[in-house]
A and B are shown apart, each in its own frame.
Chain A
Amino acid sequence: MTPGRTKDKSEIIEIQIPAKPQFLKIIRAAVGSICEISGGNLDDSHNVILAVDEACSNIIKHTYGGPTEEPIHATILISPEKIEIRLRDFGEKIDIKKIKPRKLDEIRPGGLGVHFINTVMDEVEYDNHFEQGNQVKLVKYIEKK
């Protein structure tokens, strides 16, 4: 992890994992600790962990097409009012228009990740305007304990 400080006194933490399912718990533990430090409430903390985990899982499954040594780079910004997580990959470019939650009245396995991310986060923004890969930005505004 690489700590840093921005001009507005926000803190920046950077983490990189290989895009493999066994490393997801590292991202979850880090995000959980960061949420605790930021002073948010426990429910929000669970929600941010879930959204980051689901977004990383989607990168592994869809952008990289399966587990790989390629990285998922997480930049986490904590400020007094919000936690912002940017997840950067270097895999296949995603078609942002195709990222949609599925209908919940269809009772079938799979396809719930995007619904979870969109429901629990305040802002979700996908960006594929890179020479290589994509980025998803997740924002949660902090409600103090």
Chain B
Amino acid sequence: MELVVFEKQNAAILKIVGDVDLYSSPQVRKKILALMKKKTENLLVDLDGVSYMDSSGVATLVEALQLMKKRRGKLKLFNLRPAIRDVFELSRLDKVFDICEDENQAMAAISEG
């Protein structure tokens, strides 16, 4: 599992590389909580490097969404592979998360609302 954070304008971009499962999702959660402590205004999550995600990964992102909403920040997901999109559809969370095609669309989405 590799987690890389870039700062871009008023957002942090978290790039996740590797499977997100019961073993690795606590690492993702820890990184997201650290970004919350740094008062990250908006969070974009790049899932291009994720070929597998289970319910613990989805739960981690639901928690991140709720934390961002509490502080009136925005969370956008982008670059989802079909298998990952399927997991969000299975849990009907594809309607809850703002899922963007790519980084440009995600950056535009945080300015739009």
Contacts and interface: CB of A to CB of B under 8 A. Distances in A.
Interface of A: 21-22, 24-25, 28, 43, 46, 49-50, 53-54, 57, 60-61, 104, 107-113, 115-116, 119-120
Contact of B21 (A21, A107, A112): A21
Contacts of A22: 23
B90 A120 contact: yes
A119 B96 CA distance: 19
B86 interface: yes
**DSSP majority for the B interface?**
helix
Nearest to B18: A25
Counting contact residues on chain B (CB < 8 A from A), the size range is: 20 to 34
Interface of B: 19, 21-23, 52, 54-56, 58-60, 62-63, 66, 83, 86-87, 90-93, 96
A57 B56 contact: yes
